[in-house]
Chain A
Amino acid sequence: MSAGLPLATNAPLPARARPRQAAGWPAPGSTAWLIAHELRLVWREGSRAGRALRIGALLFLLLLPVGGGIALAWQWRDVTVLPPGTIGLLAAGWYGLLVLLLSAASMHVLRVFHDRGDLDLLLAAPLPPERVLAAKAVAVQIAVGTPMLAISLPFVLASMFFGHVGWIGITLMIAIGAALASAAAFVIAGGLFRRWGARRARMIIQVASGVFGVSLGVAGQSASFAPAWFRGTLDWLRQPPLPPFDWPAEAALGAPVPLLAFALLAWGATRASAREAADQMGAGSAADSLSLARPARFGGSPARVLLDKELRLLARDPELLATVLLQMAYMIPAFGLIFAGGASPGRLAAAVVLFAGLLAASLGWITICGEDAPDLVAAAPLPAVTVYRVKLAAACLPPLALLVVPIAGIALLSPVAALVAAVLAPVAALCGALQQGWAAKPQPRRAFYRRQRGSLLLALSEYALSGALSTAAVLLVAGSPWAGVPFGVAALVLAIAWMTRLR
């Protein structure tokens, strides 16, 4: 035993070592304290940026809903009779929101209960387990509901100020939606976890979220490329649903009975989900053994072996690919922009170039920055430049392989557009991957899901680079002499990435 370290003492701590207990701050171990702890972890998991930067970004992001919400409330201040179709659209919007919240809540449930690995620590503490689990459940609800509440609250408060007091129901229905989605997530994510294990459960949820996100994005942009379908769907949604399916809309507009019914439903669901969480504690998960019936063979030159490894790891990680898909979904508005004036061979070529650049950038991050065994690869008898080239190739090959058929399709419409796409797609892919190699920090592969949150500047320059080359494609197909300008922009972005590259 060390002589200098007293193991236990009742002597008071010196003032400097005593933890600060601010007035009004929840007592350690209380439910509120545990919730605050959970929320702090959620907040910190969300971003690697510093506190000031995060708060600044949050305030900046809140400017839009505050400004937009107040303006919208002002515009609607004299509305006494809502336009026809409002109930239908509101109800459809709430159901859509519920699905969105469900996918977010499912990921939170897996993260909070299974990934973080702090349950043992918390349950080993002299606290009632129900309190620990309830705090986690509430934290999931808050984490899921807060973004939507933040977006809607300025509009709701301003509307209440202008006399639409009942519209507080919008905020309440979002909160209720978050509670219901979280409760459902406990059941769904918990069931998937028990049946398939944490990794596969996460993958299933991510793929489902990715598909839902892409569908939502495509539906949102369908006004550009399928206006008739978009109008038809909108007309269908405007029809008021049969009771009680219209209750979410009624509740959002302040009808007390539906609001009370949903509040009771949310309360019951939350209670049930807490029980589900308690059951999850006792139940083990399915083994995540992931046995491989047919092991891969590696052969050929060391460079070939490395390339095979990169491609195999990509193919074997559907969770990662689902995240890539989800990140690509954020670019659907950009694709919508390309097709805003209708589809043409030049615009198709531009879309192909944009897709190649963005996908290769994502894969470039994974292969170059997300090397899980950097020491092994660095210690291998391979020149560093060969390793780098192989990793670039691994990032560029999948998007180019995916684009062979679309480019062939474009060739049927316009050989010139196909030629432009065939030349610029590999260029965009290579530039996108190079940019990642120069600018992104090496990190474990599992950090991929937050890569764009890690550096806003890099994310923006990534879009600028691929967007510039995409614009160049349109202009080249159109034979415009201005095509040189976007090429110049792309070259400038690349030059900046190279000059500021990490060494």
Chain B
Amino acid sequence: MLSAYLYRVRKSLIRAPGLMVLYAFFLGYILFMSLVVTSLNEGAVRNQDAVVGLIKLVWFGLGNLVLGNTCTKGSYAFSLTDVNFHFAGPFTTKFNLIIAVINSLPMTLIYMYFSSMLMPFASNFGFTSKDAILMVCGGFVVVLVCSIIGFLVKVTLDKLEKYKKVPMAIIFGAMALALAGCALMLLSENDWSIKSAFGQDIDILISRIGNNPIIDFFPIVGWPGLIVKGIYLSDVIFIAIGAVLSIGTIVAVAYIFTKANYDYYETAIEGATRIAEITEAKKANVFGNSDINTGKIVVGKEKIGGGRGASAIFYRHLLENKRRSHFSFININALIYKAIVVAYLFFMSKSHIIDDGSLANLAYALGFGLTMNIFVFSGSKTLTELSKPYIFLIPDTAQKKLFASVFADFPEMAFDALVMMIICMVFAPGARTVPFGIAIFLIVASFNFLCQTISILCVRILSRAGAFIINLLRTILDMAVVGFGALVGFVVMSIVDGGIEIVFFSASGVLILASFLALLASRNIIDKTEMR
């Protein structure tokens, strides 16, 4: 069994060196950040409580996220190939479970990669390499154990159809209650004053919440934190309680899986099928995830409502948007990314990396927000269309079909620009003027449009190339156009002697012009490109 598995792994790794490079990059980044974190902010005064609090909160958040997702959606550790060859082959269920654990390692590595992005921020309160290595290694174990426990819960509850979503509700509900409890305790310590409780510096907030007994004793994900707390406070009791509870959990899970002979194949197949669907959708989309459906779609009273010939494509897209988010102008992924932008800006402002009220905050907000939008709007619906035959078959001109598909993204792009405008105005009060508002709206909307059209152009030019080459060209072109737009903007600003909004107005003009040129150059894509 093992030799067959190792043979397959060896062959896969040889055939996919890019993947190895990617994992090496993640690992290298984690190691690099862990090693340099001490020197990132050498003058910082160490806040031990904040360090411990941050480690515990990272484990708490990651562990609950993984637990909640796995117990609802099942494990993503098996592929359909595993199902076909391993499940039906002469491999024991226990051996296949070990494979699942091994298959989970890359995803766990990615979680740790994202966690390590917190290190520059943590260096502000004296985070050291030792802390970093502890956070990463401990987090690795927490994520791995939580994914196995979540899978165990999922397998058990799969037999009880109507209780399938109960564990996720319990886990996220308990998480919310725990955080609410911490907030209440913080308020009570500060005479119920919201301003004095939450107006404190971020390191103090982290130390208070992270070291709260509710987090300490939160089942499963809180227990390893007790060990850390005990080590830093040299408190043997904390170490003992944490160790007994954490090791006990791992032993119990291992025992249940080895002795109970869980029949988990059906549950694993569900996860494997979902992975296959996502992979197929991603293949077609080249880059980005704006059109991948993994959630439940509810059919309401909405209808296609209009269209003849190519314009039917436009109306169909609006209907599909409505199905995904209840509104034809809302892109759920874009909204999620905006929430991440808000969280990022909140942390930046709480850590005094950006100053309240500074116009420079706009650069942070737009820089981060627009970068995330590349992931949403580059994988446009038009590229997804190219994976189905209908856009090729519909009896209308290639240009009309392309434009009908492209313009269907406009409501989402405009709404996203509106949300981004509000975020910018909240975090940069200096931008709370009508011209600034319009300028921000235009720059975001035009950038979203540019992402979409440049992606289409790249597929038009390099239709036979792989996703990596297409994405590389797309990134270079995006950056070149944005850079040129900024340059033009600054030149215009210096000529008319105006404010920064002039830069945005001018740059958005360049971006819109470039987008239409890209669209013009790709106008025959449906006639000249093959179904992907």
Same complex: no
A: residues with CB less than 8 A from B are none
